[in-house]
Amino acid sequence: MDRLADFALNSDTSVESFNQDLNIFMMFKDSIKRIIEENSANMELKKFLDLEVAFLKFSLRCYPKNSEYVNQILKDCVFICERQLSKDFPDDCQNNIVKFLTMPLETMSLTILQMNEYPNLMKYLPFTKRRLVAAKICQAVVNLKNILSNIPLTEQLIKFINPLLVTEKDYVDVEPFEFEEEQLSVGKLIHLVIGDSVGTTLELLNLFKKKFLEGEAKRMKYTLPSLIFALFKVIREIAHSEEKIAGAKELIKEVKKLIDLLAKEHHELSLRLLLNLALCINEVDLEKEVLFLKINKRNLKVFQTV
């Protein structure tokens, strides 16, 4: 399969014309299916998965945008996993499942989150592997600068990076530098949220806000500042519309609540955010003197401990 993929990619002939007389994908699919059926009793799970990994690699190289082909391969992999009596898969099999979930990211990015079989395959992984997949998804979205403008797709993204957002039941501690790197990547996702309208942008940001607030203070240190600065941008946008000036005031109150939440454990960070809030208020000119005095007095005791 690797040689055929190399030939298809390096040949002057396009993949489409290469498949005119013969559907190579279906040929391989049918052959692999027969191999699995004929050897299911005496063939190791790893060998089945190795075969499917090679098939996925071939498909991604020859049909880089065909998400249906990838979904069919994932479906076959789910079928193979379901037939196993033990769901406690060895590490090499788990690594293959990680490959199924991450290899399509390079050519398909967020399209993979719309595949029906993606969550069905994810459930066979322990926390450490789910966290690895989540980190790679997050990093791929950031590197490719995929704009998050679709609400259902953003909901799916949040669902799949959940191991980075909250402490799940089978949570395993990670190295501090890895944790920080992952949380910074999550924070960068916020800057890719651009809705078709201010209302859509707020709805998308609220999806992240709801999940961020489920995390602990150690996560909020990295995630909430990005959310707050994104809200500053929205405040500036809606404040210039006289019809929606009340909306800007409400958002300022929401931002203040988020800063108060951070102030409980991260005093210096919350102070810097308060100063940025004051700059935002000054720019949009919304009762800046009175509101800032309220902010200052309410937080004075907290910052005396810094």
The domain segmentation of the chain, as residue ranges, is 1-125
Tens place of pLDDT per residue across the chain (306 aa): 666 666 555 655 555 555 555 678 888 898 888 888 888 767 788 888 999 999 999 888 888 888 899 999 999 999 888 888 666 788 999 999 999 999 998 888 788 888 888 888 988 999 999 999 999 999 999 998 989 999 999 999 999 999 999 999 999 998 999 999 999 999 999 999 999 988 899 999 999 999 999 998 899 999 999 999 999 999 988 877 665 555 788 898 899 999 999 998 898 999 999 999 988 888 886 555 445 545 555 554 544 444
* C-beta of residue 278 within 8 angstroms of C-beta of residue 292: yes
Among candidate residues 98, 203, 110, the one with its CA nearest the CA of residue 157:
110
Helix, strand, or coil (residue 87): coil
Token digits for 38? 């004929």
Cα-based angle 218, 222, 227 (whole degrees, multiple of 5): 125
CA 78 to CA 7: how far, in whole Å? 30
The b/e string for 85-122 (b: 16+ C-beta within 10 A; e otherwise) is eeeebeeebbbbbbbbbbbbbebbbbbbbebebbebbb
- Predicted local confidence at residue 84, as pLDDT: 80
CA 60 to CA 81: how far, in whole Å? 22
- Predicted local confidence at residue 239, as pLDDT: 78
Helix, strand, or coil (residue 63): coil
The b/e string for 53-71 (b: 16+ C-beta within 10 A; e otherwise) is bebbebbbbbbeebbebbb
**Residue 193 dihedral angles phi and psi, to the nearest 5°:** -80, 110
Q: What is the pTM of this model?
A: 0.84
